[in-house]
């Protein structure tokens, strides 16, 4: 049950990313996606294998849904967060975007617990929400840095990176 749901979420997020207005170039979005994918994969590996604060399911389909979430869905949410943050001018719109995406990825974590792909013996869901918030703030910070480099490059050579 979890694998079709997470594949559907992945397809919806791919469509959102493809058709949304983006301030970052294709290269900057690709760098953002790649770095966020590495960070989220290492996060789940450290939490499950090294610290033993979370346990991943041994069922193959549930584990694949966890991998889809951590390697594809979370980086796509980070790309949406950065481009949404850069597109919105008002602080209220930026906060609504942040809180909506934080709620979305927190619901995905709740669904992982519901589908028994993750369990938290020494970790709480509140801790996961806090880590997800830090993840989104890191996405914004990294996206702003990439946007700064993109603007600097465009101003110097009048071309995109």
Supply the range of the domain harboring residue 95. 33-157
pLDDT value at residue 48: 76
**Mean pLDDT on 138-153:** 93
Backbone angles phi, psi at 38, to 5 degrees: -65, -45
Residue 13 lies inside a defined structural domain of this protein: no
Residue 76 lies inside a defined structural domain of this protein: yes
Residue 1 lies inside a defined structural domain of this protein: no
Residue 26 lies inside a defined structural domain of this protein: no
* Contact call for residues 78 and 68 (beta carbons, < 8 A): no
Residue 15 lies inside a defined structural domain of this protein: no
Residue 11 lies inside a defined structural domain of this protein: no
* Contact call for residues 161 and 151 (beta carbons, < 8 A): no
Q: Please give the Cα distance from 120 to 55 (Å, whole number).
A: 7
Backbone angles phi, psi at 126, to 5 degrees: -65, -40
pLDDT value at residue 136: 95
Q: Is the pTM of this model over 0.85?
A: yes
Checking if the pLDDT of 154 tops 90, the result is no
Count of structural domains, the chain: 1
Checking if the pLDDT of 99 tops 80, the result is yes
Residue 2 lies inside a defined structural domain of this protein: no
Residue 9 lies inside a defined structural domain of this protein: no
**Mean pLDDT on 84-98:** 95
């Amino acid at each position: 049950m979890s694998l079709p749901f997470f594949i559907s979420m992945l397809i919806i997020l791919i469509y959102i990313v493809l058709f949304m207005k983006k301030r970052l170039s294709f290269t900057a979005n690709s760098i953002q996606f790649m770095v966020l994918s590495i960070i989220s994969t290492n996060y789940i590996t450290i939490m499950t294998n090294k610290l033993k604060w979370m346990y991943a399911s041994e069922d193959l389909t549930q584990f694949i849904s966890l991998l889809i979430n951590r390697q594809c869905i979370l980086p796509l949410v980070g790309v949406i967060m950065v481009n949404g943050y850069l597109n919105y001018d008002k602080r209220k719109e930026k906060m609504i975007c942040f809180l909506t995406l934080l709620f979305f990825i927190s619901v995905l974590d709740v669904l992982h617990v519901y589908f028994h792909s993750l369990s938290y013996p020494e970790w709480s869901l509140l801790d996961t929400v806090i880590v997800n918030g830090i993840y989104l703030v890191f996405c914004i910070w990294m996206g702003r840095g990439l946007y700064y480099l993109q603007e600097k490059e465009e101003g110097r050579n009048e071309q995109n990176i």
